[in-house]
Chains A and B, each alone.
Chain A
Amino acid sequence: MTGKSFAATRRDNRVLRQGANTVAVVLALLTVFPLYWMVLSALKPKGEITSAHPRPWTFAPTLENFRNALGVSGFGRYFLNSLAVAVVVVVVSAAIAFLAAVALSRFRFRFRTTILVMFLVAQMVPVEALTIPLFFLVRDIGTVAPGFGLSSLGSLMLVNLAFSLPFAVWMLRGFVAAVPESLEEAARIDGASRFTVLWRILFPLVAPGLAATSVFSFITAWNDFVFAKTLILDTDHQTLPAALMVFFKPDENDWGGIMAASTLMTVPVLVFFVLVQRHMVSGLGGAVKD
């Protein structure tokens, strides 16, 4: 800084920036390529997919793979089932997690650390192992409330809610803690009630974190394979991941069908991501900066 002239520093910075830009673009292309390949393969005609010399383009795009997925395999129905479960889980989980995160990061009380540790421990439990006791629990619930029993979307909503909450709380806590307490104190001094502080001050500031957390809850519910497979016994209430397995065959995989189904399954998550992306990344910075 001291020895160099102003112009030399600027030139150095420009070269550095140019290099960083190139690296970033290459990384971006590498990262996104598998997704491009998925969509491309879904659009390729059969002959090109099984070809021993795959090409990263196609001159004869076709929707045949998608028609098969939606028509023959009834993907439309599973799609709506998955969507219903995911949306309910995201909304309810965000509300509950926000309250819990505020409690854990803004208050000092007895058992606070114990509760925090429990949220952490909850994430370590392998859910695959928990499906056995959950199956019997859901079966028993079904005798009282069929809407939440076996083969109901309600059971998937409840179970996925329970398994997305610990992470949502844990992650939101960081975002709540990142909001300077001085803002709330200022509001309190200006006469705002606890409730007002919670919803008018803290909630908007934590919104980016909530968006980021919602994405995760959405993925948890949308991706869930084990619970759907265990708790849903009829095909009418099946969700996407379990339905995707229909395309897998022991010897000759129908890659076109698998790629089309995978594309259909990925698109809603992508849309959700793009919708909240702004809040996820820039929101936090913009909101807290002074």
Chain B
Amino acid sequence: MPATTVTAPADRGDSPARPAGGAPAPGRRRSGPLARIPVPLWLLLPAALVLLPLFGYPLYQLGLLSVLKFGQPQASGGVPTEFVGLSNYTDVLGDAQFWSVLGQTLAFAAFCVLATLVVGATCAVLLTRVGRWPRLLLMFGALGAWAAPAMTGSTVWMFLLDTNSGLVNEVLGTQGHNWMYDKWSAFAMVAVVVVWHSFPFVMITLYAGIQAIPDSVLEAARLDGAGTVTVFRKIMLPMLRPLLVIVVIQSIIWDFKVFTQIYVMTGGGGIAGQNLVLNVYAYQKAFVAENYSLGAAIGVLMTLILLAVTAVYVRSLRRSGEEL
């Protein structure tokens, strides 16, 4: 067996079951750039077949919509659409409400991301330090919070915070207090729900990552005299970095786009729109005010902002030697 492997690796390497259907080049030393292209593209084909028509095309249409005049008359087909250039964008950017909504969206998202990461990472490390039963219990609780749909999570917390029959007011002895009345109190309550929903993802992903670090590596480091802190900084953190990147970017994306919790808990953006975030703002402009093109313009701006934030983050990672 070892003899054949050494003398004739080419015959054994190329099986007819190859999915890529690439050219049957002789030998397996075909690592030239051209010969490798077909395999990954073949693997990506199913994703492209779904995403191009159902994601790419509507996205293009969204961009198109944002430079048209497109309200209810145009949607029902009675009035032809009209190209208006960037006037939707100038309308949005000239509106003082847009800027205040943008500010509170950024602040809200930043708070949620930080809180989620701190709670999630702390719990992940905690999980590696506790006995079997506390670990299972915390895991179970976190899975429950994660599993709860955004809609039902919001309804349960609304009930807990209910002015008249909510448990929170009963426990704190503040019967009749409306937690959603004050702007910042309402934002804080929504943030609690968002963190409750999203810290389990961080916790479980990071915990799985920590578990995946081979014991032998950690043992070797300890044998070489590395303390807990050194092991954490020099071994665990670098090995966890790919997962950390995913977790951070994901949290930013999710928390910047929080919709259901805000929409359900504050009744579509709070009293006089005090709790609007960009996503809900765009939705209200499009579907309540029936100005679809304005909603589309806000949607495009939101996407651009998220792009900018993530670009800065990815670039700083690149600079520290990490690759995508």
Residues on A lying within 8 angstroms of B by beta carbon are 1, 16-17, 20-25, 27-32, 34-35, 37-38, 41, 49-54, 56, 95-97, 99-100, 102-104, 106-110, 112-113, 115-117, 120-126, 128-130, 132-134, 136-137, 158-159, 161-163, 165-167, 169-171, 174, 177-178, 188-196, 198, 208, 212, 215, 219, 222-223, 225-226, 241, 244, 255, 258-259, 262-263, 265-266, 269-270, 272-274, 277, 280-282, 284-285, 288-290
Contacts and interface: CB of A to CB of B under 8 A. Distances in A.
Given A28-B140, A100-B44, A281-B139, A107 B36 contact: yes
Contact of B249 (A115, A120, A219, A273): A120
B19 A195 contact: yes
B310 A120 contact: yes
Given A38-B156, A223-B149, A178 B242 contact: yes
Contact of B44 (A99, A110, A265, A285): A99
Residue picked from A126, A128, A219, most chain B C-beta under 10 Å? A126
A57 to B, nearest CB: 12
B144 A31 contact: yes
Interface in B34-50: 36-37, 39-44, 46-47, 50
Interface stretch (B95-103, B109-117, B208-216, B230-238): B208-216
Interface string B36-80: 110111111011001101110111011001000000000000000
Contacts of A277: 139, 143
Size class of the B contact interface (CB-based, 8 Å): 35 or more
A41 B159 contact: yes
Interface string B180-220: 00000000000000001000100011011101101110000
Contact of B61 (A115, A136, A265): A136
Task: Give the interface SS of chain B, mostly helix, strand, loop or mixed.
Answer: helix
Contact of B15 (A95, A192, A290): A192
Contacts of B145: 31-32, 34-35
A132 B152 contact: no
B164 interface: yes
B258 to A, nearest CB: 11
Contacts of B216: 290
A17 B129 contact: yes
25 contacts: A21-B130, A22-B134, A25-B138, A37-B156, A95-B46, A104-B44, A106-B40, A109-B37, A129-B300, A134-B54, A136-B61, A158-B54, A167-B250, A174-B242, A193-B14, A193-B17, A196-B17, A212-B205, A223-B149, A226-B283, A259-B159, A262-B156, A272-B147, A281-B211, A289-B215
Contacts of B93: none
Nearest to B280: A128
Contacts of B131: 17, 21
Contact of B43 (A16, A103, A108, A121): A103
Contacts of B283: 128-129, 226
A169 B175 CA distance: 48
B50 A161 contact: yes
B279 interface: yes
A208 B129 contact: no
B57 A137 contact: yes
B156 to A, nearest CB: 4
B151 A241 contact: yes
B106 interface: no
B286 interface: yes
B242 A177 contact: yes
Contact of B138 (A28, A170, A195): A28
A93 B53 CA distance: 16
Interface string B150-183: 1111011101101011110010000100000000
Given A34-B145, A126-B259, A130-B299, 15 more contacts: A28-B134, A31-B138, A38-B152, A106-B40, A113-B324, A117-B324, A126-B279, A166-B55, A189-B5, A190-B5, A223-B150, A262-B151, A270-B147, A281-B139, A284-B212
A99 B159 contact: no
B150 to A, nearest CB: 6
A194 B324 contact: no
Given A52-B175, A284-B212, A132 B295 contact: yes
